[in-house]
Amino acid sequence: MSDEELRGWEYVCTEGELLPGEKITIWHDDTPILVVNLDGEYYAVEDKCTHEDFELSSGPVDAATGQIECVLHGARFCLKSGEALSPPAYSPVAKFPVKRLNGAIWTRDDR
């Protein structure tokens, strides 16, 4: 892939560095992006609970359901869609595209 095709994409890590069930946060400009490996599929959401601006990355991932829980108040989000699944959060988290290329993981804020 050329430099032009990667413009706007942020390097996350190699596939071997993010094993199933693991997560990593990278920064794209001022946006923290949480990337999670769910059984070999990678998903990216904004690392910020929509209820109270707290990092989701500190919470546990339930790989079986594809959800993450905010440790501050227990709100749960779907990592595949960004959908808020339980109160006190009602708004979804931003979801971002993920690209695999030559053994590396890339994401971008495409809002």
Answer whether residue 57 is part of any domain: yes
Answer whether residue 43 is part of any domain: yes
Q: How far apart are CA 87 and CA 7, in angstroms?
A: 37
pLDDT tens digit sequence for 29-40: 899 999 999 999
> Residue 17 pLDDT more than 70?
yes
The whole-number pLDDT of residue 30 equals 92
Burial 30-45 (b: 16+ CB within 10 A, else e): ebebbbbbbeeebbbb
- Residue numbers of the domain that contains 37: 10-107
Q: How far apart are CA 15 and CA 54, in angstroms?
A: 27
> Residue 7 pLDDT more than 80?
yes
In CATH, what number is assigned to the domain containing residue 67? 2.102.10.10
pLDDT tens digit sequence for 66-99: 999 999 999 999 999 999 999 999 999 999 999 9
